[in-house]
Amino acid sequence: MTDFAGIYRSCKRSQALGKGLKAVQENLQRMGLEYVSVVDAKISAFHTVDGYKLTTLEGTAFFPSQPLASVNSGVAWMRASFAEADIVVPPYYQMGFLHANAGKIFKATTHAEKMSLGSEMLCYMYPADGMAELISGVWAKRRTFDEFHAQLVEATKAYCLGLYGVAITGLLPCIEGVVRQLGVLSGVPVEDSVSIRVLTKVFRKLQRKELVMMLDGYDWYPESEITVSYLDGFHERVQMFESISSYLESKLYLHTDSAPEYLTLNRHGIAHGLFKGYATKENYLRLFNLLSALSFAAAMAEGRGSLMHPGSTVESAELTASLKKCEAVSSLI
């Protein structure tokens, strides 16, 4: 079998990878290597990685140009900003809108102000019709959401009735169940585990799948350099998975002993009756937004589904009417 790793190290030591195709060819000739071809090549996924495609009788390898450029895209920056307001990067909304709101949160000088700005954004994004459009136009089309659909609708109705505690406790088991379903689709043996260490393996697997897809057609590439961590600087789907995983680990499933004083939205604290003050409109919307992000992950795992906002449909209009009736009842209570 061709020693692609050894060839790559030789090209890297001679600095041929940064000098261009001719320098790489000359390095291969000095090594006395028998190969079919070496040509300029690119791999692309939200950002282009330049390099070379080396083909031998035994396989094909991708050698990235050196130095391998470090890239930090807007999504990575937004993820960090939204995290300061305990929000997962919202899918299905235009980048301009998200960028503007992330900027406001970033510029805020206090944690309370950041949380307030995040809450204002979520309230704007998820009125009754907005929630109905996502539930009917996106969530209902995901196999991973099938068995939770009725409870998700019930929880949303409870939210519109102003029953925020009931609404939140209705969403929590759905979130955990959806993550386990994603694990089944991704080949991660989550079974009936509720451990965050197990559940986050699902998103590690989804990120790894994106890396494999990006290098499809190559038998070898430098795995120590082209990693999930590298992709996390620019690959939007990898960044979304990281946003979800980070929120689950650092907020929703954070051990209650480690939770900051302000945090009330915590699965263990709520389920075991340890936390008070979690029954708020803003906390429900943070969970609703998390489920929206999980529906994005489900589209990737299931291999189907649009990543655009669904807009109004007959089904969503019917659900909107029902939710607005709940809001009307709430105003009379």
159-200 pLDDT per residue, tens: 999 999 999 999 999 998 998 888 888 888 777 766 777 778
Average pLDDT score over residue span 13-41? 94
Contact 149, 116 (CB under 8 A): no
Domain assignment present for residue 268? The answer is yes
User: Are residues 170 and 95 part of one domain?
Assistant: yes
Q: Quick one: 149 and 199 in the same domain? A: yes
Which of 46, 64, 82 is the C-terminal boundary of a domain? 64
The boundaries of the domain holding residue 139 are 74-332
Residues 44 and 158 in one domain: no
Per the domain annotation, does 69 fall within a domain?
no
* Structural domain includes residue 203: yes
Q: Is residue 264 domain-resident?
A: yes
- Token pair 């700005």 is found at 117
Q: Answer whether residue 35 is part of any domain.
A: yes
What is the mean predicted confidence (pLDDT) over 59-81? 88
Q: Which residue has the higher pLDDT, 310 or 291?
A: 291
Q: Does one domain contain both 302 and 173?
A: yes
Domain identity same for 97 and 58:
no
Do 162 and 219 share a structural domain? yes
On whether both 144 and 244 belong to a single domain, the answer is: yes
144 and 22 within one domain: no
Claim to verify: residue 149 and residue 92 sit in the same structural domain: yes
Quote the pTM value: 0.88
Paired with 52 in beta bridges are: 40, 63
The pLDDT, as a whole number, for residue 256 is 63
Which residue among 21, 44, 64 closes a domain?
A: 64
267-286 exposure pattern, b = at least 16 Cβ within 10 A, e = fewer: bbbbeeeebeebbeebbbbb
State the pLDDT at residue 258. 65
Of 33-37, 40-44, 71-75, minimum mean pLDDT range: 71-75
Span of 26-40, 217-231, 260-274 with lowest mean pLDDT:
260-274
Half-sphere exposure of 208 (CA within 13 A, CB side): 10
Q: Which residue has the higher pLDDT, 257 or 151?
A: 151
Check whether residue 35 and residue 79 sit in a common domain.
Answer: no
Q: Note whether 59 and 141 are same-domain residues.
A: no
Q: Does residue 42 lie in a domain region?
A: yes
- Each residue's pLDDT tens digit, 241-269: 999 998 888 888 776 666 666 767 777 67
Instruction: Say yes or no to pLDDT of 75 above 90.
Output: no
Query: pLDDT tens, 88-112?
Result: 999 999 989 999 999 999 999 999 9
Strand order in the sheet with 37-44: 37-44, 48-56, 59-64
Reading the block at residue 299, the tokens are 């589209």
How much is the pLDDT for 108? 97
Number of domains in the chain: 2
Q: Are residues 87 and 53 in the same domain?
A: no
